[in-house]
Copies of this chain bind each other. A is one copy, B any other.
Amino acid sequence: MAGDASLLRRVNTQVTLNALRREGVATLTRLGRITGLSRQTVETVLDELAERGWVREIPPDEGVMGRPARRFGFRADAGYVLGVDIGANKILAALADLNGEVVSWHRVPVSDGAPAPERLEAARQAALACVDVAGVARTRVWAVCAGTSGVVDRSGRVSLSTVLPGWTGVDLAGLAGGWFGCKGLAANDANLAALTEHWRGSAQHAADVVYVLVGHRVGAGMLIGGRLHGGRTGAAGEIGALRQVGWEDAAAELDTHGEAAAVFKAAGDGDPAAARAVERFAEKLAIGAAALVLAVDPDLLVVGGGYSRAGDVLLTPFRRHLTDLCLGVPEVVTSTFGDESVALGGVRLALDHVEREILGL
């Protein structure tokens, strides 16, 4: 609780490292100015960090006035994190360095009805391949985070899945960690997508975000205070379970009109039957979204998932119904990421873990 002098050093190390991560490469003097520390302090801190492998000294810049300054760079390649989206039809893995820059993608198809062991094996293969083709040693993966549809509890177990066969009860976090002998995490896909939008997408400046994942299945995730909010059992956002909301059959009903993309297209082209179907879908979507909006009153509502590509054809009626149902409607935007958002969210969550647990704080 209390601190002695070493606390000061820990704090300043953290501050310096963060500054360097933002800068990429920086001289001692510059880091001193940024952090408010003296050059000497920054120097000893960086020498320590270099010894521990977090930071690397880089040859001085040439052709500038004055004595060449010692330069340091954050070793983003000291470790890696992996995000894996385990979906109904595909598995997508993303390997990123400690700056969160993705260095390798790997996608494999998987069948809708694949039993859990087959899906898990495919995920494992994809994860390993993603790392191997990047030429990264498997031991340098420090954390893995899997994302999937369904309810994922705090420990990373799938406690309920209605779409993937045999998926309920799978200990995703444990298994994913086992692939690389590192920390394993798991979370709901909509939650991870929300995290991605907050990290690099359209929700960057919002603290409280509701993300509605609209596709063949409809789900929702949320961020409260900039942090993922899963709730007691990981089921936060599962408003679709409420009969009065009817998310369960909204997509199913739309499907009766044909391929979803085609229905949206037809509606956009003025086909009245398709327009009515989209209208009904938008209304059902809006009821659930309204319940979430009224419950948490977010700064922003992000609509993502495959069907969000329909754009205004879906969004316009959706906004209209939402305005009808809510007191004050937050800004509604579409996701800026496609189907990489879940894997990227996994990268972000794994990175959060690494920053907290390994970089210390």
> A residues touching B (Cβ–Cβ < 8 Å)?
1-5, 7-8, 11-12, 15-16, 35-37, 151, 160, 208, 222, 224-225, 227, 229-239, 241-245, 287, 290-292, 294-299, 325-328, 330
Q: Hey, which chain B residues are within 8 Å of A227, CB to CB?
A: 225
Secondary structure at the A interface, as helix, strand, loop or mixed, is: loop
Query: With the chains together, A239 CA to B326 CA distance in Å?
Result: 9
26 contacts between A and B (CB under 8 A): A1-B35, A2-B15, A2-B35, A2-B37, A3-B8, A4-B8, A208-B232, A224-B229, A225-B227, A229-B296, A230-B297, A232-B297, A232-B298, A232-B330, A233-B297, A233-B328, A234-B297, A235-B297, A236-B296, A237-B295, A238-B297, A239-B291, A239-B295, A241-B294, A242-B325, A295-B296
Query: With the chains together, A225 CA to B245 CA distance in Å?
Result: 27
Instruction: Write the nearest CB–CB distance from A121 to chain B, whole angstroms.
Output: 29
Query: CB distance B294 to A242 under 8 Å?
Result: yes
Query: With the chains together, A349 CA to B242 CA distance in Å?
Result: 34
Instruction: Write the nearest CB–CB distance from A39 to chain B, whole angstroms.
Output: 13
Query: CB distance B297 to A231 under 8 Å?
Result: yes
Knowing A2-B11, A3-B11, A296-B231, the reply to whether A242 touches B160 (Cβ < 8 A) is no
Knowing A160-B327, A326-B241, A327-B160, the reply to whether A2 touches B295 (Cβ < 8 A) is no
